Amino acid sequence: MTKKSRDLLGLPVISLDEGVKLGHVKGLVIDPPSKALAALIVESSGLFREQRFIPLAKIHSMGFDAVTISRITNAEKGASLPHIVQLWKDKVTLVGARVISENGTVLGRVQDYTVDLDNGQIEGIELAESSLNRMLKGSHHISVHLIRTLGREAVVVSDNTAESMNRIDGGLEERMRQMLPKKKAKPEEPTDEM
C-alpha cells in the first residue's frame, strides 16, 4: 500500500498502549542514500507545542486516517536521535527539487512523492514541468529505479527517464482532446483509371 507524502502530513499520531493522540505529522525526514523515509516529525497538540521524531522502525502502522505507534515513548526528542536530526538538518525534502537527468536535461520539479506504507521506501516521484505546463500537459510519475540521487536541490535521474515516465494526469490538453469529436476518415475518391 502506498501513499503520497502530502497525504501523510497532518495525520494524527495515536499511541496504541495509552490510547492517546500525541499530535499531528508535521514533516517527513528522508534518508537519501536508502531512498526511504527515516522518520516522521510530530508536533504535539496543546499550549506548549513540542516537536518530536518517530523513527520508521518505531512506527506501528501508517494508515489512511492515522499513524499509530505502540507507546508514547516511541516519539523521541531530537537529542536522542542524532542521525535523524542530521538528516532533518540536511533538508532533503524532495518537493520542489529540480529533476535533472545525468546528461544535464532539466525535466521539471518534484511535485510530490509516493511512499510504501509497509517499509517506508520511496516508490517514485511525481514530476511537474511548471505550474502552467502541469495544468496544460499534466504530471508524470518517475519510478525510484530511475532515480540515481536524492539531493537537497536536485533529484538526478538516468538519461532514459524522459522515455520511461508514466503519465498520471493528462491535463487540459488531453481533456480537450477527449471532448472534441473525433475526425471521420474521408472516403477515398474514385479514380478514373482505365
Q: Model confidence at 181, in pLDDT bands (50, 70, 90)? A: low
In this prediction, residue 132 carries a pLDDT of 46
Band of the pLDDT at 50, cuts 50, 70, 90? Answer: confident
pLDDT in tens, 76-116: 999 999 999 999 999 898 999 999 999 998 998 999 999 99
The amino acid at 161: T
Domain 98-172 maps to which CATH number in 3.40.225.10, 1.10.8.60, 3.90.45.10, 2.30.30.240? 2.30.30.240
Q: Please, where in the chain does CATH 2.30.30.240 lie? A: 2-89, 98-172
* Residue 1 confidence (pLDDT): 87
CATH placement of domain 2-89: 2.30.30.240
Residue whose C-alpha cell is 518505531: 58
Which pLDDT value is given to residue 52? 94
User: If we measure between CA atoms, which residue out of 16, 31, 23, 19 comes closest to residue 150?
Assistant: 31
Task: Write the Ramachandran bin of 11: left for phi over 0, alpha for psi from -120 to 50, otherwise beta.
Answer: beta
Specify the DSSP class assigned to residue 16.
T
Q: Is 184 a residue whose pLDDT tops 80?
A: no
pLDDT of residue 122: 96
Asked if 110 and 94 touch (Cβ cutoff 8 Å), the reply is: yes
Residues whose CB is less than 8 angstroms from the CB of residue 10 and which lie 6 or more positions away in sequence, other chains included: 24, 25
Cell of 97: 527539487
Distance CA 6, CA 13 (A): 15
pLDDT interval class at 165 (50, 70, 90): confident
pLDDT at site 133: 47
Q: Is 132 helix (H, G, I), strand (E, B) or coil?
A: helix
Q: Contact 65/73 with Cβ under 8 angstroms? A: no
Instruction: Say what the pLDDT of residue 21 is.
Output: 93
